[in-house]
Amino acid sequence: MMVNIPIKDSFIELSARERVNSILDPGTFREVLGPFDRMESPHLSIQGIVPQSDDGVVVGRGLIEGESAVVIAIEGDFQGGGIGEVSGAKIAGALELVLRDHENGVCTRPVMILETGGVRLQEGNYGLLAIAEIGAAIVALRPYTPVVGIIAGMIGCFGGMSICAGLCSHIIMTRQGRLELNGPEVIEQEAGILEFDSSNRQMIWEIAGGEQRYATGFADKLVDDDIKAINSAVIDVFSEGIPTQYRSSSVDRYLSFLSQIDPTKPLNPRMIKEIWENKQEDIKTIGESFHHFKEQQVESKGALSRGRVWIEALSGQSQSIITATSSVICVDSMINNERVRYISVVPSENNRFPRARQGEVGLDEGWAIAYFVQEAIREDKADDRRAIVAIVDVPSQAYGYREELLGINLACAAAADAYASARLAGHPVISLIVGNAISGAFLAHGLQANRLIALDAPDVTVQVMSKESASRITRRSIKEIEETAKKIPATAYDIQSFFQLGALTELVQGINADAPDKKDIQHVLEKVQSLIIEVRSSKRDLSNRLQSAEAGRYRFASIRVRELLAAQWN
Amino acid sequence: MEEIAFEYSAVKKISKRSHVGVAGSGDLEILIEPSDDLQARITIRTSVEGLKDVWKSIFDRFFYANNIAAVIEINDFGATPGVISLRLAQAVEVLEI
C-alpha cells in the first residue's frame, strides 16, 4: 500500500532574505537598504567583531495578495538576530514609513519575521532605544492595519523584541518557535539553576514553544514549518482584520487570568492551559481581580527605594495612595494647575511572586501599570488629559520560571502599550529616571514617554542587563565589558553616557537622589511641569529623540538609516 | 578580527553584482561588484586571525579559474576553506558569466 506523505517546504531553513521573498507575492520582492548600500553597524568592527553588510535585517517591499506590503526579517544567524543601532533603525524606520503610507491613504501591510535574542549586547542602549521606537511604531500603526509577527524558529523571539511581539495585532508561531522575555541562560544567571536550568531544552520548549504559547493565548495561529502554511496564515490574519481588542490592551482578561494563579503552589505548563481554557467563559471584572490582589496585600512599606522616596516627595503624599499590588504605587496629585498621575514600582517583601520582591517589573506589576494608565485614558475627556509621570527606579524585569510561563513578555508589553496609547491620546507622559532603568523593565515602565529626564546622581543607570549576565552571553570578561564601555557610550551603565545618545531631554544636576530636600523637590517639579507644557504643543510620537544635538552626533546611523529607507521606499 | 586585502590583475569584465551568505557561525558573506578597471580587489574581514596564507591560496586558485575584474568584499565568521570555496562558486553563479 502506498502512503502519501505530504511534502513540505521548510520555512525555518530559509535565510532571512529567502523568507521575505517567500511571503511576498511571486516576483514582487524589492529590497530596500540592501547589502550593497553597506549600511553596516558602525560599532562592531571597532570591538573586533565582523559586521554584516545589511546588519542582519532584510526589508522587502512588494505585494501581499496584490496589496502594498513590507516584510521585515531578522537574520538569526548573524549575531543571534541581536538588535543593534542599524538593524533596529531599519525595523523602526520601515514601520514608521508604513504609518506614513496609511496616513496618506496607502494601505501597506506590515509583516515582521522575528528571529532575535533581543538587544545586541555589544551595542547596548542603542538596541534598547531602537526597540522602544519599534514598539511605539507598532502601537501607532495597529489601528490602521494588522501588524503581523511571525516566530518560526530556530532562534525564537526574546528580550525586548518579545515585548514588541506582545504589541503586535497577530502572532503566528511554529512548534519550533519560542517566545520568551528572558533568555534561559540569563534567567539561570540571575535567579539560579534551581529556578531555571538553561540546559533543560524540553522544559524550555514546554514553557515558551509555539504549541504552549498558542494554547495559552499568547499566539494567534500555530502552523507547521511549511512555506505554504505560513503564507496562508499571513493571508488569513489580514483578512481577519484589526482585532476588536489587542492582546496587550486586554487588562481585564489577563488580570483575571493571573488572579487564578497561586504562586505558593507548584505550577506547570499543563495547569496554565487548563486555567486559560476555564477563563474563557469566566472573565472577572477588573474590580474583582484587584480585590484579589488587595487581599494578598499586607500593610507594609517594604524597603525604602528611590521610587518610593520620589513618588511621595513629588506628590506631597505618603498616605491615601492607590495601590493595586503591594509593589505598584499610583498617586493623583497637582503641580500648580496641572493634574498629574504618578506611577512607581517599588520593592515589597510581601509580593506574591518571590522573583519580583526587589522592585522588578513582574507579571502583576506590568498589568497593574497598564491598568492605572488605561484608567486615566478612560476617565479623562479628550480636551482635558492629565499628565502621567512614570518614576523610574527598576532594577530589571522579574527573572523566573513562573514569569516566563505566565507571559511576562506580555505583561511588559501591556505597560508599554498603555503608556504609548496614553501618549497618542494626548496625555503628556514624562519619565523621571531617579535610579535604575534597566532593560525590559525600562521598556515597560518609562521608554514610551514623550520626554525622558534623569537625575544626574550616583547609581542612576540605564542598561540592558547586569554585567555578570552580559559577560556570560557575550563570552567576555567583565573587565573587557568595562573597557568597551569607554569606547562606546551605549554600552556603559552611567547616566552621563546615556545622555550622549540624545534621548534624554535633560540631566537634572545637583539633586540628592536618595533624600531630596524641599529645594530639590521644587526644582524637579518645575522641570516636570515645563516639560508637560512643552509636550502639550508637540508631536505625539518619539521623533524628538532623534532631533537633539547629541542624537545628531551619537545616533547618526539611526538618522541615516531612516533617510535612506525613505528615499528608497517607493 | 583581522583585515586582509589582495589584488589581482584580471581580464574578464562582469556586469552584474552578487551577494551570498551570512556572517554567521562557520559561514561568510560575499559581495561581488564590477570593478572600474582590469583589476580585482579583495578585502576580507575575518574573525579568525593568522590565516592570511590560507586565504591567499584560496584566491590564487579562484582567480586561476575565474579571472574576473571585480571588487570582492568578504565578512567571514570562521568558515572553513571548503565552505569558502562553495560560497565563492555560488557567488559566481549569480554573476552569470
pLDDT in tens, B68-85: 999 999 999 999 999 999
Per DSSP, B59 falls in state H
pLDDT the model gives residue A295: 45
Which of A434, A427, A481 is closest to A450 using CA atoms?
A427
Cell 517639579, residue located: A525
Q: Which residues of A touch B (CB under 8 A)?
A: 15, 34-36, 45, 48-53, 75, 77-78
Q: Answer yes or no: are the C-beta atoms of A112 and A153 closer than 8 Å.
A: no
Q: Cα A76 from chain centroid?
A: 19
Q: Which of B25, B31, B47 sits opposite A35 (nearest CB)?
A: B31
Cβ pair A75:B27 closer than 8 A: no
pLDDT the model gives residue A398: 93
Nearest-neighbour CA in chain A from B22: distance (Å) = 7
Strand A429-438 with A451-455, pairing: parallel
Cβ pair B31:A52 closer than 8 A: no
Nearest-neighbour CA in chain B from A228: distance (Å) = 24
CA atoms within 13 A on the CB side of A505: 21
pLDDT the model gives residue A299: 46
User: Which chain B residues are closer than 8 Å to A84 by Cβ?
Assistant: none
Low-confidence ranges of chain A (pLDDT < 50): 294-300
B71 close contact with A: CB closer than 8 A? no
User: Which chain B residues are closer than 8 Å to A36 by Cβ?
Assistant: 17, 19, 31, 33
pLDDT the model gives residue A485: 87
pLDDT the model gives residue A301: 55
pLDDT the model gives residue A284: 55
User: Which chain A residues are closer than 8 Å to B24 by Cβ?
Assistant: 75, 77-78
| Alpha-carbon torsion (A264, A265, A271, A276), positive or negative | negative
Q: Supply the pTM of this predicted model.
A: 0.95
Q: Which residue of A has its CA nearest to B28?
A: A52
pLDDT the model gives residue A202: 93
CA angle A156, A398, A478 (to 5 degrees): 80
Q: What is the mean pLDDT of residues B44-50?
A: 96
Cβ pair A49:B22 closer than 8 A: no
Q: Which residues of A182-195 are buried (b: 16+ CB within 10 A; e: fewer)?
A: bbbebbbbbbeeeb
Nearest-neighbour CA in chain B from A51: distance (Å) = 7
- Which residue of B75, B76, B77 is the best one to mutate when testing the A interface, meaning the one whose CB has the most A CBs within 10 A? B75
pLDDT the model gives residue A158: 96
Cβ pair A50:B1 closer than 8 A: yes
Cβ pair A77:B45 closer than 8 A: no
